[in-house]
Amino acid sequence: MTNMGTRTKRTHQYNVGEAKARLPQLVRETLAGDDVVIAKDNKPLVKLVPVSGGQRKPGTGKGLILYMSPDFDAPLEDFEDYM
């Protein structure tokens, strides 16, 4: 049986000059889930990571709110003039 649709995460390392020349490609690789490391003198300096960290999934925060005040959604006194 084959694992269609699954992708193995890869790590790519580029030197600073090469990274500068290939930045759009490195961004695509990062967004595809690969680790992209930029190095100088073959020593890792930085790692590119997506800002959003991927798509959000409904239900991932379930159980994180431990307490909510009974009047959580009650109008605030400061806003009575606007109601």
List per-residue pLDDT tens for the chain, 83 residues long. Answer: 455 556 688 999 999 999 999 999 999 999 888 999 999 999 999 999 888 756 778 888 888 888 889 998 988 888 888 87
Please name the residues in contact with 49: beta carbons below 8 A apart, sequence gap of 6 or more.
30
Place of tokens 């991932």: 60
Question: Is this model's pTM higher than 0.85 or not?
Answer: no
User: Order of strands, edge to edge, in the sheet holding 35-40?
Assistant: 11-15, 35-40, 43-48
Burial 33-49 (b: 16+ CB within 10 A, else e): ebebebeeeeeeeeebe
Per-residue pLDDT at 75? 87
3 state SS of 22: coil
Residue ranges per structural domain of the chain = 9-51
CATH number belonging to the domain at 9-51, selected among 3.40.1620.10, 3.30.70.20, 1.10.357.10, 3.30.565.10: 3.40.1620.10
